[in-house]
């Protein structure tokens, strides 16, 4: 098979963030594998906070190139991905791009949808949350207007004004909220007090309230929390799950953290066995990576996959959004195909 890739800048419809830290775009690398005129596509989404640069991603893809070009889809994808993983530690987004494109291509070559080919239940439709980032009061009010079609909102917290922010939103809408603190709180007693208060504000889950190092404090919080606690930064891969026992009640699984669909499926198995709720999330992928993740929706308790809605220049077609729901059609492979303007 033949590997190609292309760097791309996904431009936000509305740049967001507080002054001096405004995000206007997300750098991305799209990957394509070709065999006998059939194409598989994948994506490495690289927002700055992920800490994986475009250059390092391209260098990793170059290192994986010869392995990929020798691969045959009749071989075991899982065993092959172990080899890719062993090239170098880290580079999780690049590994995810390889996993997605390979799964897409192999399913297509077998004449099957990804879920059929994998032998898993087909994801179809779920409500997804709509994300509102930390921003000025005025911009938050504007974003709330844009979120009208969505049934659930995800808000980014972790500043001194969190109660004020939640109250502001509560004055405008009573939609359920997911609150993502991005490790912003450090005092365990404060966190529990906040969960008590948030449970009266229709907040249904609290994501990563404390720094990932504060596992013991998180165990203390989760035992007492009035709402569901969900790990994000604390869990990248399957191997992170065991040492977190009791620290959270749910896990935010993202393809760019966990190296792709194969490992995400293993993490879902782990969560089901250990009674952990599953949130399917994303970094800020286009419809390419998002459609790949949406394939696993049949196993999700919560879905936070609104990123394609945030962009002006999404170069892929795949998932669709209607009435606050994300849906994916059963199709050959993963079902994300580039628009004509994306030439490799």
Q: How far is the CB of 233 from Mg ion (least distance, A)?
A: 7
Q: How far is the CB of 208 from Mg ion (least distance, A)?
A: 5
By CB under 5 A, name the one of 43, 232, 263, 304 that touches Mg ion: 232
Q: Looking at beta carbons only, is 84 or 256 nearer to Mg ion?
A: 256
219 token code pair: 């165990």
Q: Looking at beta carbons only, is 65 or 212 nearer to Mg ion?
A: 212
Q: Looking at beta carbons only, is 207 or 217 nearer to Mg ion?
A: 207
User: In the 3-class helix/strand/coil scheme, how is 68-96 assigned residue by residue?
Assistant: HHHCCCCCCHHHHHHHHHCCCCCCHHHHH
Size of interface with Mg ion, in residues (CB under 5 A): 3
Q: How far is the CB of 159 from Mg ion (least distance, A)?
A: 15
3-state secondary structure of 334: coil
The residue length of the chain stands at: 344
Interacting stretch for Mg ion, rule CB under 5 A, among 9-17, 30-38, 201-209, 290-298?
201-209
256 token code pair: 């760019």
Contacting residues for 227 by C-beta, under 8 A, at least 6 apart = 195, 198, 199, 203, 204, 205, 206
Applying the rule CB under 5 A, the residues between 109 and 148 that interact with Mg ion are none
C-alpha distance from residue 48 to each of 25, 51, 79 (Å): 10, 6, 31
Q: Looking at beta carbons only, is 281 or 333 nearer to Mg ion?
A: 281
* Contact track, Mg ion, 239-258, x by CB under 5 A: --------------------
Q: How far is the CB of 280 from Mg ion (least distance, A)?
A: 12
Q: Looking at beta carbons only, is 127 or 184 nearer to Mg ion?
A: 184
According to DSSP, residue 311 is labeled B
In whole angstroms, give the CA distance from residue 248 to residue 250. Answer: 6
Dihedral of alpha carbons 179, 16, 264, 38, sign: positive
Element (H, E) at 291: helix 287-294
Interacting stretch for Mg ion, rule CB under 5 A, among 54-62, 172-180, 261-269, 306-314?
172-180
Q: Looking at beta carbons only, is 73 or 296 nearer to Mg ion?
A: 296
Q: How far is the CB of 256 from Mg ion (least distance, A)?
A: 12
CB neighbours (10 Å) of residue 343? 8
Q: How far is the CB of 206 from Mg ion (least distance, A)?
A: 11
The strand pair at 203-207 and 2-16 is best described as: unpaired
Interacting stretch for Mg ion, rule CB under 5 A, among 39-47, 154-162, 189-197, 229-237?
229-237
Q: How far is the CB of 285 from Mg ion (least distance, A)?
A: 14
By CB under 5 A, name the one of 135, 180, 217, 304 that touches Mg ion: 180
Nearest to 216 by CA among 247, 189, 186: 247
3-state secondary structure of 236: coil
3-state secondary structure of 288: helix
Applying the rule CB under 5 A, the residues between 204 and 223 that interact with Mg ion are 207
CA 181 to chain CA centroid, nearest Å: 16
Q: How far is the CB of 76 from Mg ion (least distance, A)?
A: 33
Residues that bind Mg ion (CB under 5 A): 180, 207, 232
């Amino acid at each position: 098979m033949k590997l190609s890739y292309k760097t791309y800048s996904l431009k936000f419809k509305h740049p967001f963030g507080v002054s001096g830290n405004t995000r206007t775009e997300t750098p991305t690398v799209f990957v394509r594998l070709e065999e006998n005129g059939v194409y598989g596509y994948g994506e490495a989404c690289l927002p700055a906070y992920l800490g994986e640069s475009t250059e390092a991603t391209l260098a990793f893809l170059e290192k994986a190139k010869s392995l990929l070009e020798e691969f045959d889809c009749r071989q075991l994808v899982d065993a092959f991905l172990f080899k890719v993983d062993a090239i170098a530690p880290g580079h999780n987004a690049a590994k995810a791009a390889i996993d997605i494109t390979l799964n897409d291509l192999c399913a297509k070559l077998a004449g099957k949808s990804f879920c059929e080919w994998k032998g898993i239940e087909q994801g179809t439709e779920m409500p997804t949350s709509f994300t509102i980032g930390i921003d000025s009061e005025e911009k938050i009010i504007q974003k709330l207007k844009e979120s009208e079609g969505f049934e659930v909102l995800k808000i980014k917290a972790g500043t001194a004004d969190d109660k004020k922010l939640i109250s502001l939103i509560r004055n405008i809408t009573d939609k359920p909220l997911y609150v993502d603190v991005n490790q912003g709180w450090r005092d365990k007693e404060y966190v529990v007090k906040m969960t008590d208060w948030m449970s009266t504000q229709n907040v249904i889950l609290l994501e990563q309230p404390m720094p990932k190092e504060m596992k013991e404090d998180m165990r203390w919080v989760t035992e007492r929390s009035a709402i569901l606690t969900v790990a994000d930064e604390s869990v990248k891969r399957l191997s992170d799950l065991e040492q977190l026992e009791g620290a959270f009640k749910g896990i935010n699984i993202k393809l760019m953290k966990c190296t792709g669909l194969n490992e995400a499926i293993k993490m879902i198995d782990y969560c089901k066995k250990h009674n952990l709720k599953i949130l399917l999330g994303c970094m800020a992928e286009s419809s390419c990576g998002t459609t790949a993740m949406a394939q696993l929706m049949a196993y999700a308790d919560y879905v936070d996959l609104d990123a394609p809605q945030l962009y002006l220049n999404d170069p892929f077609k795949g998932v669709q959004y209607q009435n606050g729901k994300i849906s994916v059609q059963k199709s050959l492979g993963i079902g994300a195909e580039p628009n004509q303007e994306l030439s490799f």
